[in-house]
């Protein structure tokens, strides 16, 4: 007996009456259709958006035509350059937010670009016994692509689907070896300093310039689905399907926004937080001169004292790594003029005077001030400054003796 035949035995027998919720008419609310698979039926909603459709401040056509040559900078685990014709956007709606074996993915949204449109296919199980059919269709769609784009999918959606496939004794081969671009950690690396939250709703509002109206909160979705299971009222699912649809479309728009920012040259940056993030990416990639140019632009754009201080601290650190110690010393002096209690900068400046400039008097002056602050703040650096001051005093005594 082949695997499909064995799995069919797990489905309800034809002689068993179907629950009333299975006969609920969803078409007036969801505008989809029942799909019949070798493992039983489920429900599928398919929608297409034209490429000239605006989602936020850009069109889907702009997202479709972008090159996506920069995303691999976020790490080798993401794969090589993203090819949009081989990419599928994935998002699930579940019976719980914690995951685990008791959590079902009752709705799986899948989006992809064609030559003329952005297609969103949403696969719904109207009852628990339609899960095998849902998984069958998800596997079929994934097999046609090589890359997954998700929002927190590496941590939540894909592991949950893997669990559901395993419990159903089905392989999840469709995702095996697929590159995965998870937009949540990527977004955090770009905007965590700029935004209080990097939730998808926050990114829609602040990055995509898009505001949803009447959207169902994510935490209400599980209970709404349970209400549908108990009543069979199709209208209960309409907001959930729309929420999932918008999530998928927003991921496509967000992917384009991320790629656009990654391609921005230092001189064309208009946001200090983004320039700072791009500097960090450049430094992680080993291009310190490029990182320095991004940080210098960020400092130029900064209008907040705290932000400006954070950026020039990074510039000084990079200058030190590049061997430009005198330029770094100028910045450490500026930092101390703005934030006298910055002991780390004081320590670096003292090191410069002692070892690079060979100005022991200046080194002693900086170290004494820093030591007094360290004592006042009960800093763990007290011992280091005491040791440094003693060494400088010894050098000065030897220097005086030689005269």
pLDDT at 222 over 60: yes
Span 120-143, average pLDDT:
96
pLDDT at 172 over 50: yes
Angle between helical axes of 272-284 and 288-301 (0-180°, round to 10): 170
pLDDT at 4 over 90: no
| Residues 376 and 395 placed together within one structural domain of the fold | yes
∠ Cα 25 26 29 (to 5°)? 125
Span 42-66, average pLDDT:
97
- pTM, two decimal places: 0.88
| Residues 240 and 304 placed together within one structural domain of the fold | no
Span 377-400, average pLDDT:
95
Query: Of 247, 262, 277, which residue sits at a domain end?
Result: 262
Asked whether 237 and 135 are in contact (CB, 8 A), the reply is no
Asked whether 241 and 250 are in contact (CB, 8 A), the reply is no
| Residues 273 and 201 placed together within one structural domain of the fold | no
Res 8: pLDDT: 52
| Residues 258 and 271 placed together within one structural domain of the fold | no
The pLDDT tens digits of the residues spanning 208-219 come to 999 999 999 999
| Residues 277 and 250 placed together within one structural domain of the fold | no
Q: What band does 75 get if pLDDT is binned at 50, 70 and 90? A: low
∠ Cα 327 330 334 (to 5°)? 140
Res 25: pLDDT: 87
| Residues 154 and 186 placed together within one structural domain of the fold | yes
The residue whose two tokens read 């510039």 is 315
Determine the Cα–Cα distance for residues 296 and 95; give it in Å rounded to an integer. Answer: 48
Query: Of 262, 295, 311, which residue sits at a domain end?
Result: 262
Work out how many domains the chain is built from and give that number: 2
**Higher per-residue confidence, 67 vs 92:** 92
Q: What band does 177 get if pLDDT is binned at 50, 70 and 90? A: confident
∠ Cα 362 367 371 (to 5°)? 155
pLDDT at 126 over 60: yes
pLDDT, the chain, mean: 91
Span 241-256, average pLDDT:
98
User: Which tokens is 26 given?
Assistant: 């969803």
- What is residue 299's three-state secondary structure? helix
Res 101: pLDDT: 77
| Residues 29 and 171 placed together within one structural domain of the fold | yes
Antiparallel, parallel or unpaired: β 147-150 and 179-182 = parallel
| Residues 144 and 179 placed together within one structural domain of the fold | yes
- What is residue 36's three-state secondary structure? strand
Rg (CA), the chain: 29
Compute φ and ψ for 68, nearest 5 degrees. 55, 55
Listed residue (239, 124, 80, 261) closest to 186, CA to CA: 261
- Helix (H) or strand (E) holding 312, with range, is helix 305-321
Tell me the DSSP string of 326-354.
Answer: HHHHHHHHHHHHH-TT-HHHHHHHHHIII
| Residues 254 and 276 placed together within one structural domain of the fold | no
Residues in the chain: 403
The pLDDT tens digits of the residues spanning 14-48 come to 433 334 344 578 999 999 999 999 999 999 999 99
Listed residue (89, 195, 103) closest to 142, CA to CA: 89
For the CA atoms of 78, 83, 85, 89, the dihedral, rounded to the nearest 10 degrees, stands at 30
The pLDDT tens digits of the residues spanning 330-374 come to 999 999 999 999 999 999 999 999 999 999 999 999 999 999 999
Residue range(s) defining the domain that contains residue 388: 267-402
- Which CATH number goes with the domain that contains 168? 3.30.420.10
Asked whether 187 and 181 are in contact (CB, 8 A), the reply is no
pLDDT at 10 over 60: no
């Amino acid at each position: 007996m082949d695997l499909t035949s064995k799995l069919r035995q797990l489905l309800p027998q034809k002689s068993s009456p179907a629950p009333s919720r299975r006969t609920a008419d969803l078409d007036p609310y969801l505008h989809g259709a029942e799909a019949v698979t070798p493992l039983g039926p489920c429900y599928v909603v398919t929608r297409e958006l034209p490429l000239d459709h605006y989602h936020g401040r850009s069109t889907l056509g702009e997202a479709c035509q972008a090159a996506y040559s920069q995303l691999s900078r976020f790490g080798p685990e993401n794969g090589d350059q993203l090819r949009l014709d081989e990419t599928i956007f994935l998002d699930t709606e579940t019976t719980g937010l914690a995951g685990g074996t008791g959590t079902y993915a009752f709705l799986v949204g899948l989006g992809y670009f064609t030559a003329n449109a952005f297609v969103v296919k949403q696969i719904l199980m109207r009852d628990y016994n339609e899960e095998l059919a849902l998984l069958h269709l998800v596997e079929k769609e994934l097999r046609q692509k090589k890359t997954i784009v998700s929002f927190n999918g590496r941590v939540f959606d894909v592991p949950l689907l893997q669990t559901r496939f395993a419990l159903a004794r089905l392989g999840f081969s469709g995702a095996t070896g697929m590159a995965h671009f998870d937009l949540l950690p990527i977004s955090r690396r770009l905007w965590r300093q700029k935004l209080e939250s990097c939730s998808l709703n926050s990114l829609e509002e602040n990055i995509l310039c898009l505001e949803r109206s009447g959207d169902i909160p994510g935490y209400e979705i599980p209970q709404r689905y349970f209400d549908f299971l108990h009543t069979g009222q199709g209208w209960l699912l309409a907001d959930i399907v729309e929420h999932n649809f918008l999530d998928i479309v927003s991921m496509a728009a967000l992917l384009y926004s991320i790629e656009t920012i990654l391609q921005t040259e230092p001189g064309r940056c208009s946001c200090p937080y983004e320039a700072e993030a791009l500097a960090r990416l450049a430094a992680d990639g080993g291009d310190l001169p490029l990182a320095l140019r991004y940080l210098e632009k960020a400092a130029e754009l900064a209008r907040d004292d705290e932000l400006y201080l954070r950026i020039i601290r990074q510039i000084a650190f990079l200058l030190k790594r590049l061997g430009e110690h005198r330029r770094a010393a100028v910045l450490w002096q500026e930092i101390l003029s703005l934030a006298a209690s910055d002991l780390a900068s004081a320590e670096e400046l003292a090191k410069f005077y002692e070892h690079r400039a060979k100005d022991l008097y200046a080194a002693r002056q900086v170290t004494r001030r820093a030591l007094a602050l360290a004592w006042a703040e009960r800093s763990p650096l007290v011992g280091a400054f005491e040791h440094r001051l003693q060494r400088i005093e010894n050098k000065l005594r030897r220097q005086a003796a030689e005269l």
